[in-house]
Amino acid sequence: MERILTRWLDIPDLKKLDVYLANNGYKAARKAFFEMKPEDIINEVKNSNLRGRGGAAFPTGTKWSFIPKDSKKPVYVCVNGDESEPGTFANRYQFENDPHGIIEGILIACRAVGSHTAYIYMRGEFTVQKRSIDAALAEARAAGYVGKNVMGSSYDVDIWTHRGAGAYICGEESALLESLEGKRGYPRNRPPFPALVGAFGCPTVVNNIETLSNVPHIINRGANWYKSIGPEKSPGTKLVCLSGHVNKPGLYELPMGTPIRDMIYDIGGGMLDGKTLKGVIPGGSSFPVLNKEESERAIFDFDSMRAIGSAMGSGVVIVMHEDTCMVDMLRATAHFYHHESCGQCTPCREGCGWIEKIMNEMEAGQGKIEQLDLLNNISDNMVGNTICVLADSIAMPVKSYVTKFRSEFEEHIKLGRCPFKSAEAKAQAA
């Protein structure tokens, strides 16, 4: 398969402007600025069926079309490079290796929606990555690709980077906007939506880094070319963060519609230590886990994953073998979401803590059978009852783990200990 988003693997030093230009760099931006009207850009992206790569899978061109035409207020483009979902590590490679690809995507988005200012919101720990994108921006400004009179077009675009403070919740677009404005990262009630009232009270587009990195290729090669890759309704390639119990974990660019079985046994080199597959977290810790049978028939694209009862999310595939304690996995997940809840909504603030407390008791051998139904009941009262979906992000995994691996939870409770840790201790002693 042709590498599109990871072409830096074939082109050394693609992060340098001269190398980027020698490989069709900024050709798409020039086309968008000089040969296309804003509505033409939006329609081309719409026709490509490009969907957001941050997890929500919303059609990108449609999102752009929501921005009011001839807005009397400034229009902003905000780029989500927070990447805080456990198991994700794609954006950091993009920042380091293809910063000009990101910048070009931003320029085209700005031209499409009538924006003259863009902000790249980055995960707080992205120190090396910020240096990389800042260096690329400095090169682009010096060469006239960013700033006043972009490429001699009489159109101005300023792009600025902004590092967050390490809050998972700021990956949610409205919390990101609050943080960008210097406030506490609390998600906003909607409506109004960012397209009307976003950054600084102005119309705003919020797109993921990977989403925008697709845009120059679509403008250069056309919507029909893009739709020829993968399923028509979920086309293109996806950066997959493959980790867990496989022999070759790593970042892979794969066509949409790749079977998860192929990721595990072919691309990932098979199960670690030759052990048996037990389950897969298919889109990040915030989505329902798949058992062995589901994992081996799941197809990795937005619609197929939804049909199987989970989601593709941001492209996280965490593989677990037979010795994985699912009770401990859920306990760790609950701890993460309890720690990262902003506390604004009562069902999330109290529910996350309650779930973690129960999970700690179960893993410590103090659980009760009736707590399994209680976990489901707590989760039911969290889903859909909060401003953002962080509550859902723990409630959905809880229901899937307890339902699909109930016998394992019951065994913990009946034994009064973790059978996996006991077996591990015996093996080490032997």
pLDDT-derived band at 427, boundaries 50, 70, 90: low
Q: 264 near 310, Cβ under 8 Å?
A: no
Quickly count: other Cβ atoms within 10 Å of residue 332's Cβ: 15
Task: Please give the tally of structural domains in the chain.
Answer: 3
Could you tell me if 155 and 268 lie in one domain? no
Do the domain assignments include residue 232?
Answer: no
Q: 209 near 219, Cβ under 8 Å?
A: no
Domain of 289? 237-321
Query: d(Cα 408, Cα 396) in Å, to the nearest integer?
Result: 18
**pLDDT more than 70, % of the chain:** 98
Query: d(Cα 415, Cα 42) in Å, to the nearest integer?
Result: 59
Residue ending a domain, choose from 227, 262, 295: 227
Do the domain assignments include residue 257?
Answer: yes
Could you tell me if 223 and 242 lie in one domain? no
Helices 38-48 and 209-221 sit at what angle, rounded to 10 degrees? 100
pTM of the predicted structure, to 2 decimals: 0.95
Could you tell me if 291 and 351 lie in one domain? no
Could you tell me if 84 and 216 lie in one domain? yes
Could you tell me if 167 and 205 lie in one domain? yes
Q: Record the tokens describing residue 359, joined without a space.
A: 């999970």
pLDDT-derived band at 423, boundaries 50, 70, 90: low
pLDDT-derived band at 429, boundaries 50, 70, 90: very low
The number of C-alpha atoms within 13 Å of 390 and in the hemisphere containing its C-beta is: 37
Residue ending a domain, choose from 292, 321, 350: 321
Would you say residue 65 has pLDDT above 90? yes
State pLDDT tens for residues 1-57.
Answer: 799 999 999 999 999 999 999 999 999 999 999 999 999 999 999 999 999 999 889
Could you tell me if 269 and 147 lie in one domain? no
- Supply the pLDDT for residue 430: 46
Could you tell me if 317 and 339 lie in one domain? no
Do the domain assignments include residue 144?
Answer: yes
Compute the average pLDDT of residues 59-68.
98
pLDDT-derived band at 426, boundaries 50, 70, 90: low
- Going by C-beta distance under 8 Å and a sequence separation of 6 or more, which residues neighbour residue 261? 295, 296, 297, 298
Do the domain assignments include residue 95?
Answer: yes
Could you tell me if 195 and 118 lie in one domain? yes
State pLDDT tens for residues 250-274.
Answer: 999 999 999 999 999 999 999 999 9
Residue ending a domain, choose from 321, 344, 372: 321
Instruction: Report the CATH number that the domain containing residue 349 is assigned in CATH.
Output: 1.20.1440.230
Query: d(Cα 96, Cα 129) in Å, to the nearest integer?
Result: 5
State pLDDT tens for residues 170-215.
Answer: 999 999 999 999 999 999 999 999 999 999 999 999 999 999 999 9
Query: d(Cα 189, Cα 198) in Å, to the nearest integer?
Result: 12
Helices 209-221 and 90-97 sit at what angle, rounded to 10 degrees? 60
- Supply the pLDDT for residue 1: 79
ω into 192 cis (within 30 of 0): yes
